[in-house]
Structures are given as structure tokens and as C-alpha cells.
Structure 1
Amino acid sequence: MDSHGPVELKELKLGDHVAFLYKNEAEHRAVIEPFIRDGLEKGQKVVYVAETHDSKAILDSLRRNEFDITSYLDSGQLVVEGPGEIYVRDGVFDPHRTIELVKEEVERAVAEGYTGLRATGEMSWVLREPPGCERLIEYEARLCEFCEDAQCLALCQYDQRHFGSDLLLDVLQTHRAVILGTELCHNFYYFPLAALTGHSPPAARYDIWIANLLRFNRLLKGGSEDQVQLPRSEETKTIAKIAGGMANDLSTLLLAIVGHAEILLSKAPLEDPWRFDVQGILKASREATTLVNQLLAFGRKQMPRAAAMNLNAVVTNIQSRLVSTVSKGIEVVTVLEPTLELIRADFHQMEEVVMNLAGNACDSMPEQGKLTIATENVTLTEKHCETMPDARPGNFVRLLVGDTGVGMEEETRKRIFDPFFTTKEGAKGLGLSAVYGIVKQHDGWVDARSELGQGSVFSVYIPVLSAESEFEMRVVSPSDRLPGKGECILVVEDEHAARGWITHLLRGSGYETVEASSADEALEIFSAEKKRIKLVLTDVALPGRGGVQLIRELLSINPDLRVVLSSGYAEERFAWQDVLKKEIPFIEKPYTRVELLRKIKETLSTLQESKGQS
């Protein structure tokens, strides 16, 4: 909620927790009377907790404004109580007990057929300093948290003539919205309960204040609250976490499906009729892998395999594929900067970004139109950044994907990056979410501009690779150069199908294998076979102690042991390295047979190098 002139109480809704700070009786009447009236007209039960004000005078004022207050009092929709009935029962204030009483009032209101509870209380009872009053701010913080998920709107009244500024500062920190006099304001100084009571409150407060400062600064420079808010709300973050977990499990299953299908295909003669069926399995599995990667990208759990690259190469690589898939009535135009700067990025993820944006653009032009894909070098100043919430000054490569389609209304534009949101029948709603996640992982941002009937323009900004940046050039070896020499590998994987494919592949490639389905079983095997086992390949998500703890214990037994960790959560590998105090070879699921054999070969080669040096 932004600041207003005369207070617009109709903007308040169930779930809000508002501090009302007033300086005189005129301001009090200007807010409280319409607050009560609006709640009654919306079918809410209204509870007024009076302390210093004469409740009869407030009700009489409502009657003078030709409002039939008597019928609401008689029906019980409007209730006026004293502080002793809510805040200070038995002469003692207890935050937990008071929250429970509010909860009971909400449940009672809903049971009686009202749409919710609208409660307002005069907080002047605190000035009498009853036992427990020192816990007022704890109560306000917990009430804010309670209201967020309840059918309750709470307005807490504070007379600035009687409360000190030190207490009012704390009050500000515990309310999402504030009415100052007669102005309703979004509260940039609000802190969630966890930030006030967590492990490191100063650090949490600092982070929130810095974020709010940036938002407020952009609002002052002409932005809107809608522009400033990120599309990843708390609800969206929860969905991202669930999606990432699902994707990790699916990655393990796809590992086995793709792996076995590849083996079957490599052994089937060209004339074998079964080849068509196996190829169908592979095609479907790879499409499923793409979907998994979108889930991981949205949840930002997919680690980019970054290297120095020219974004023009991505556009050129997919251009023929794109032209063959779009409708005949759509003209595809590319405008590529010939001296485009290098960026550090994952080539395949950048392909996914372009394809998703282009596909989204084509969907908005069902019959005909023009799709434009362009690249350019841009230097952004502070002034340029004023109209883009995530922007920062510096040198960037800009990818532009524009269309002449139907465009988007404002409500749709606000939600385009939300997971599973789509306006297209049969679509999954993950394409633009994946774009958002991928670009964020590359330290960039997406700027979307659109008007209904005027088409859309999506601009992706990726930082230019600086001259002093280091990047790795990797030489790819064909699979026929990756056979083992009889080395014994311990495979630790709790998913039976994936473990079976891995051991089958390794044995067929010249390695010996032993297998375990848990960390405990792996430790038992290693204790008996530690002289023979040269490398351990383990999943991170194992039942019990987990793969990271397993590696730690194995390295304490044999510091020279070679290990490879595997997971669908590539982004978390740096945390694992911090735990293990060393860099551990890692392979991301789902991987191909060649990728696994290459990783095994590379890791074992470091063992030979260390022996040669000793």
C-alpha cells in the first residue's frame, strides 16, 4: 500500500495488521468511524476495545451520520469491550493468552456466519503498566504473524501525545502498514517476527532495511510498488523449494531410464525393429529431462556450466530450429551485434532462455506477426537503472526478444514469472519461471515491457566478461577413450534402478564395482575392501547420515581416496565443500553415460598424478 491523502480504509483487508498513530481527536474520529462502518458493511464482525475514549460518544457520532448502529449492536455484529476482557485478564498481560483470545474471536465470528473479524483496540492500557506490559512488542509481532494467515484485520491505536518515541519506534517495526494521522502508508520499517527474535536480529534487520531502502528510492524516482516487488513472494519460494525437491527425485529416476535406453540403443543393430521403440523412450526421457531442468532452473538449484561465450552463437545455433517451428505467418528477424562482448554463461541454458522467450512471443501471435531477436552491448548508468527494479550500472550484453502480438494487461504482466502461471491452454507455466531463474543465476535480470494490443519486449541483461576473468576450456573426450583399467569403484545410491544402471555401465567399461544402498552399508563394505576400492561414487541424499557425512568419514580413514558426489542440487555443492574443507569432484543428475565415464576418468587420473609426484 502506498501513501495516500485522506485515508482510504476500503483498501484494508482481512490479513492486515495496522498501527494507527494519531495526534488529536479529529484524526481519531476520521479513521475510527469509517473503519467500524466499513467492516460492518462488508459483513465482518467488529470488536472495539475501548480504554480512554468514551465508546458511547463514538457510537453517537456514527448515529449522527445517519448510520443505523443499533441494529448491529443488537445482533452482536458490533461488540464494544474494555481492555480487561481482552488484554489484561486477571490484571496480567500475557501475549500468548491474548493471541489465543483473538483466535477464538475469529473462529466465533466465522462460525456465526460473518466473513471475518475486524478488531481495533486502544493501546493506552499499557501506560498503566500492568504486569507483563513489557512484552507488548512481542505481542504485536506475534499478532502480525497471526493475522497474515487468518480472517482477521487488526488496527492498534496509539495516541502519540502519550506514548514515547522509543516505544513507537518498536511499534513501527511490528506492523506491515501504518496510518499516520489520516494517511495510510506501506511500512518500510516493518520486520518479520523471525528478524526480531531470530539468531542474528541485527543482521536480519540490516538486510531488510537495505532492501526497503532500495525499494523506497526507486519509488521516489518515479517507479511503482508493483515494479519494485520481486515476482518471488514467500509463497513462490515455497513452491520453488517443492519443485526443486521433485526435480531432484525425478533426476534420479531419469538417470536410470535414459541410461538403460542408451545401452539398449548402442547394442541394437540398425535393422532391429526395437530401435524405434528405444528411440521413443529416449526422446520422451529427454523431454522429461528438459522439464526437470526447468523446475531446477526456477528453483535456482541447477548450477550453470559456465564458460566464456558469445551470445550470438546461441541465437545462430537455434535460428534454423526456430524458423522451422514457428507458424508460416510469423516473420523471424535477427539483428546481431557483430562486435558483441563475451559473457560467462552456460550455452545450453542460454539456448533455453532464447527458445522460451521466442516460444512465448510466437504464442502471442497465433496467425501472423513479427518476432525480433537482437543482441547489443550496453553501458548502463544510474539514470538508466531508475526504470528497471533489478538493474545496476555497468557493462552488459542485452538480448532482446520482441513481438507484435496481443500484448499483456498489467495484471498478467505482474505474474508472468510466477511458477505454473499461464494464460495458454495446456501449457505448464514454467517457461518464463525458468528464464527468470536462469538469468538470475547468471547475475543478470529480465526486464519485461508490454501493453495490451501493442506486443511485448523482453530484455535480458547479462554482465560482460571482464578482461581479467578466468574461465576454463574443457576438452571433450569420446567415450571410446574412457575405458577403465580394472579399478574398483564403490557405488552408493539408494535408488535401485539408478544404482543398477551405474554399476552395469561401469562394469561394461572396464571397471570393477561394489555397491551399497546406504551410508552405513558403504562404510561396512569400505572397511572390508579399503585396499581394493580406488574411488567412491555417492549420491548426496542418502537415508541416514547422507553422502556428505559418508565422504567425511571415508576420507578420515583414507585421505587419498578419490570420491565423486552426485545430486540434482548442483547449487549446493559449495556448501558441501565448506563442510568437507576441500573441493570434491561433482556430477549433476541426470547425467549421460559419457559424462559419468569422463568424470570417473578425470578423478582417477588425479590419483595417478599424485602417485607420480610422491
Structure 2
Amino acid sequence: MGTPLAVLLVEDRAEEAALVLAELRRAGFRVTSERVMTPDLLKNALASKAWDIALTDYTMPNFSGLEAIAIIRAASFDLPIIMISSSAGEDVAVEAMKAGASDFFSKGNLVRIGHAVRRALAEAVERRARKKAEEDLRKTAEQFRQAQKMEAIGRLAGGVAHDFNNLLQLILGCSNLLLDRLPPEDPSRADIEEIRLAGERASSLTRQLLAFSRKQIAAPVVLDLNDAVRNCEKMLRRLIGEDIHLSLSLAEGLRAIEADPALLDQVLMNLAVNARDAMPEGGSLEIRTANARLGESEGGHLGLEPGEYVSLAVADTGCGMTNDVKSHLFEPFFTTKGPGKGTGLGLSTVHGIVKQARSAIEVESAVGKGSMFRIFFPAIDRTAVAPVATPAKPASRGGGETILVVEDEDQVRTLIRRMLQKRGYRVLEAPNGLEALRLARRETAPIDLVLSDTVMPEMGGIELARELATVRPGVSVMLVSGYSQVEIGAAHFIQKPFSAEDLARKVREIIDGSKKP
């Protein structure tokens, strides 16, 4: 025996309702039912439980069958409705069907009710399946449009950050060279220091743009997400303030993930700041972790393959957001805050970091009911290893080694030359890859390192490295770019903007490494 058929009867006469139910039972249905006679009783019944089918009379003292259909349709799009009437005229039937009835027949023909109910139920199942398929198609199309939009914005953001990093290289590099020359008591130092600090802040913004466009440097390691959250807890509490209660719900037996710990910290901080700003009067912030298995449907909606994942959820009790705001949430510079109260890069940075980690993020939110951001990281079978931080050692000076600097921006090339000469290196210069090749062929002395920009007119750094393998076999090449090492695919790499100390350390490591047998 199956589940009883839940029948909602809109009928003022008890004996008529009894006849209908008896005929349904004769047709083989097990029935549970409720009879209503007024609009209010009908609304209450619709709100109280889920019904399989509604049967309504056409004419009743308190309200009409057409009014009943309107009330039912307002509450349920796909609940089958059959109108049963003693007035079986064609005009009445047409009127009922236009109003939303699935079928119509006369009370004098109740023997049809079993067949009519089965057909109405089958049509309802078909309607629901069609509606779900249409909704799934709409969501997939919307996600595809959103992905295309984010990809286009990401390319633009990455290009802007790359170009801006060339300017920042000059601002920061020249500021540091000036500071190195001036005595501690020089009054100009304060102004130059302000310029340097402004450059550092601008550099932080470009890093966020690169993170959004998935072109930031990442150093992923196998880690325990629970440990990462615990390590960040104290900092998060300082960020959100005392009027927001932070709670952690960390699952036991959590599988390992592969992520950059520093970028993961940035994700947690940005989500916490976003939650804090959504709760100006205080509230609650909960961070949850869990193992998750995504099937084809769930994974498909997120752009992920089916399989095992680890989820990180950050939920707040803040003001929530509209669907329109949600659709723009991860776009760079989009913000609902007032002027001067945010860059609009926090969530776009989160999006970029998550995508770069081959993961996905989803958002659930409603106005007045808070928001929840949930990230799915691919689970891996390896054991998490806590990274050990090693302090950077000061770079050794050069010993007259020759470095070929290849950079199409004259000012940047001059700055790099000055940085290297100050550290004791002999520097050759070329404005592009072709000139660098000619110089490499002409130069009789050994070249210990080629330091080349990646994107240049005539010949870029990657093609230059391939050509140098023939012209100068064994020469080391370090590429420079405003993009990331992953984007460039180089063994030796430094990202703009870099300090003289960072450059000297990297150069020394490569040259010393090439001398080892």
C-alpha cells in the first residue's frame, strides 16, 4: 500500500464530499482529506500541509469555485485542481480551465473521478519535472554568463594590475634608493617614507586585483583546514570586535586540502570583515568546516567535478543582501558601502583565491536574515604537514658577476641596473629579447644570469629563454612580471614590485645554485 492521497475538498455540503471520497476509494485510492467551506479555511488548509490534489465545487454559498482556484493558485503553482459541478455547461468548463483547473466534470459523472485524478497527478509530475529542468537550465545559463563576465573582468583587472606594478616598481624602488642615500637625520626622509608607504598600500591593492584575476603567486601546501581556522582565530576576533560573537564548529576527521596558508588567511579575514560590516549593531559569526561529497548535480552547479570535498562555511546574522547585490558580489570595486568605507576588492579577492585553488564558492543570503559563504576545496589523501617558517637571511653581495637585464621600460631597466650595481654586479642592458640575443652573441665574457621582463615588443622573456638555451647553453634566466609564476610558468621568477633586498637575495640564490656540481 502506498502513501495515502491527500485530498483538499472545497465543498459546502458534507454529503456531496462523502460521495466524492467514496468514489475515489472505489477507484483504488487510499485517501486522507480535509473539507473547507470558506476562503479563510481554504487558506489555512493550504498553509498547514502539502496536498496532492484539490477538488472544488463550482457554486457555494460563501464563495465560488473560481475564487477557490485563484486562492489555491496563489499558494501553489502546480497543485492539481479538479472542478466538480452540477452546472456542467461548456462555458462553465472553459471558465474553470482558464482560471487554472486541471479538469472539469459533472457531479452526475463521478465514475470519471478516478481516471481524472490519475491523469491530473501524472500531468502535475510532468509539470514539476519540466519546471525543474527549465530552472536548472536557467541556472546553468546564468552561471555560464556570470563565469564569462567574471573571466572578462578578471582579464581586465589582471592587465591593470600588471601595468600598475611597473609604475609601483619605480615608486618603491626609487624611494628605497633615496632612503638608502640619506642620513637618518635628513628632514626629507619623512616625505620619502610617506611616498614609500603609499606605494606599499597601492601594491597591496594590485595584489588583490591579481588574486581576483587568479594571477597572484600561490605556494600551496597540504594542510588541515581546522588548523588553519584555529591559527587565524585570534586575528579574526580582533578584526570583528567585541560586539560580534565568533563561534567555531570544526568537524572531526576532516580530510586534508591543498592551499596557500597565507592566501587562506586572507580569505578568512576578508569574509570576516565583510560579515562585520554587515552587522554594525553586533551579531554572531560562525565558521564551520565539514567533509562533503558533491554529486554531478551539486558539483555541476559549482563548476566542480563530482567527488570528495572539504567545505568552509562563514555565516553571519547581518543585514543580508538582495539578489541584485548578490549577482555583482564578486566584481572588483563593487561595494554597497559609502565613500571611503571600502575598496570593493575584498570579496573579489576571495573569489580569485578560491578559483586559483581549483575550488568554488557559493553564497546564500536573504535581506534581514544574514548571509553564508561556503567554499568547497578538493579533498586529498595526503597527510597535512604544518609549514615551518624560516626567517629570510640578508642577501650576500655580488662578486663582479655579469647580469644581463632585459626590460622594455627604460626607467624600470635603469632602476634594476642601479639596484644590481649597488650590490656589486656588472650589468648589461637590452630593451627587448632580440637585442638581448644580439648582445649575448657579441659578448665574449661569461653571462652569469639573464634577468628578463616577460612581456616585451619583438621578443618576450619566455621566447628569449628558449633561444638563449642555444646561444648560451646553461645560462640561468630569471623572468620578471607583474603576473604570477604560475601564469608565466618559469623556474626562476620574481614578481613586480620587488625591493632591492628581495632582488639581491633571489639573484644570489640562482647564481650560487648554478655553480653547484
TM > 0.5 fold call: yes
SS in 2 for 1:563: strand
Q: Does 1:432 align with 2:339?
A: no
Q: 2:492 — aligned with what?
A: 585
Change (3 A) 1:239 1:222: closer
Contact 1:219 1:225 survives alignment (8 Å): no
* Structure 1 residues without counterparts, runs of 5 or longer: 1-215, 575-582
Match of 2:246 among 323, 327, 332: 332
1:325 is displaced (CA, Å) by 4.0
1:136-151 map, 5 Å:
none
1 CA distance for matches of 2:383 and 2:256? 12
2 CA distance for matches of 1:237 and 1:431? 17
Contact 1:380 1:392 survives alignment (8 Å): no
Q: 1:300 — aligned with what?
A: 214
SS in 1 for 2:468: helix
Q: 2:138 — aligned with what?
A: 225
Q: 1:412 — aligned with what?
A: 325
Change (3 A) 1:250 1:238: same
Match of 2:426 among 498, 509, 512: 512
Corresponding residue pairs, total: 385
SS in 1 for 2:487: helix
Change (3 A) 1:378 1:473: closer
Change (3 A) 1:400 1:261: farther
2 CA distance for matches of 1:472 and 1:537? 33
Q: 1:573 — aligned with what?
A: 488
1:300 is displaced (CA, Å) by 2.0
2 CA distance for matches of 1:221 and 1:591? 51
Match of 1:456 among 352, 371, 383: 371
2 CA distance for matches of 1:447 and 1:545? 42
Q: Does 1:396 align with 2:309?
A: yes
Contact 2:309 2:378 survives alignment (8 Å): yes
Q: Does 1:596 align with 2:503?
A: yes
One-letter amino acid matched to 1:304: A
One-letter amino acid matched to 2:377: I
1 CA distance for matches of 2:131 and 2:475? 53
One-letter amino acid matched to 2:240: V
One-letter amino acid matched to 1:543: P
Paired-residue identity, %: 36
SS in 1 for 2:434: helix
**For the pair shown, which has the larger CA radius of gyration, 1 or 2?**
2
SS in 2 for 1:232: helix
1:536 is displaced (CA, Å) by 0.4
2 CA distance for matches of 1:368 and 1:333? 14
1:493 is displaced (CA, Å) by 1.4
Contact 2:292 2:311 survives alignment (8 Å): no
Deviations 1:566-605 (A, max 9, x none): 112224323xxxxxxxx64222223344432333223223
One-letter amino acid matched to 2:350: V
SS in 2 for 1:225: helix
1:194-233 map, 5 Å:
220=133, 223=136, 225-226=138-139, 229-230=142-143, 232-233=146-147
SS in 2 for 1:324: helix
1:372 is displaced (CA, Å) by 2.3
1:416 is displaced (CA, Å) by 1.5
Q: 1:422 — aligned with what?
A: 335
Q: 1:369 — aligned with what?
A: 283
SS in 1 for 2:219: coil
2 CA distance for matches of 1:268 and 1:455? 53
Contact 2:295 2:307 survives alignment (8 Å): no
Change (3 A) 1:517 1:316: farther
Change (3 A) 1:551 1:397: same
Deviations 1:162-187 (A, max 9, x none): xxxxxxxxxxxxxxxxxxxxxxxxxx
1:250 is displaced (CA, Å) by 1.0
TM-score by length of 2: 0.66
Change (3 A) 1:357 1:221: farther
1 CA distance for matches of 2:492 and 2:418? 22
What root-mean-square deviation, in Å, do the aligned CA atoms of Structure 1 and Structure 2 show?
Answer: 3.4
Q: 1:126 — aligned with what?
A: none
Q: 1:443 — aligned with what?
A: 358
1:48-87 map, 5 Å:
none
2 CA distance for matches of 1:348 and 1:453? 33
2 CA distance for matches of 1:217 and 1:311? 40
Q: Does 1:533 align with 2:447?
A: yes
One-letter amino acid matched to 1:437: G
Deviations 1:416-443 (A, max 9, x none): 1234332222344332222112101101
2 CA distance for matches of 1:272 and 1:586? 36
2 CA distance for matches of 1:563 and 1:472? 32
1:288 is displaced (CA, Å) by 1.3
Contact 1:417 1:432 survives alignment (8 Å): yes
1 CA distance for matches of 2:316 and 2:306? 27
1 CA distance for matches of 2:306 and 2:220? 23
1:407 is displaced (CA, Å) by 0.6
One-letter amino acid matched to 2:378: P
1 CA distance for matches of 2:246 and 2:190? 34
Q: Does 1:285 align with 2:192?
A: no
One-letter amino acid matched to 1:462: F
Change (3 A) 1:443 1:523: same
SS in 2 for 1:385: helix
SS in 2 for 1:237: helix
Match of 1:542 among 451, 456, 478: 456
Change (3 A) 1:588 1:530: farther
Contact 2:302 2:361 survives alignment (8 Å): no
One-letter amino acid matched to 2:471: I
Deviations 1:441-474 (A, max 9, x none): 10111121111110001011212343289x9979
1:217 is displaced (CA, Å) by 12
One-letter amino acid matched to 1:411: D
2 CA distance for matches of 1:381 and 1:399? 14
One-letter amino acid matched to 2:307: G
Change (3 A) 1:224 1:403: farther
* Structure 2 residues without counterparts, runs of 5 or longer: 1-128
SS in 2 for 1:533: coil
2 CA distance for matches of 1:365 and 1:459? 19
One-letter amino acid matched to 2:448: K
Change (3 A) 1:454 1:468: closer
Change (3 A) 1:591 1:313: farther
2 CA distance for matches of 1:456 and 1:536? 50
1:22-421 map, 5 Å:
220=133, 223=136, 225-226=138-139, 229-230=142-143, 232-265=146-179, 273-312=187-226, 314-337=228-251, 340-374=254-288, 376-382=289-295, 385=298, 389-421=302-334
Contact 2:450 2:476 survives alignment (8 Å): yes
2 CA distance for matches of 1:584 and 1:358? 35
Deviations 1:194-213 (A, max 9, x none): xxxxxxxxxxxxxxxxxxxx
1:387 is displaced (CA, Å) by 9.3
Change (3 A) 1:235 1:414: closer
Contact 1:379 1:395 survives alignment (8 Å): yes
SS in 1 for 2:397: coil
TM-score by length of 1: 0.56
1:388 is displaced (CA, Å) by 5.2
Change (3 A) 1:387 1:479: closer
Change (3 A) 1:542 1:600: same
Contact 2:209 2:332 survives alignment (8 Å): no
Q: 2:82 — aligned with what?
A: none
Contact 2:440 2:471 survives alignment (8 Å): no
1:556 is displaced (CA, Å) by 1.7
Q: 1:483 — aligned with what?
A: 397
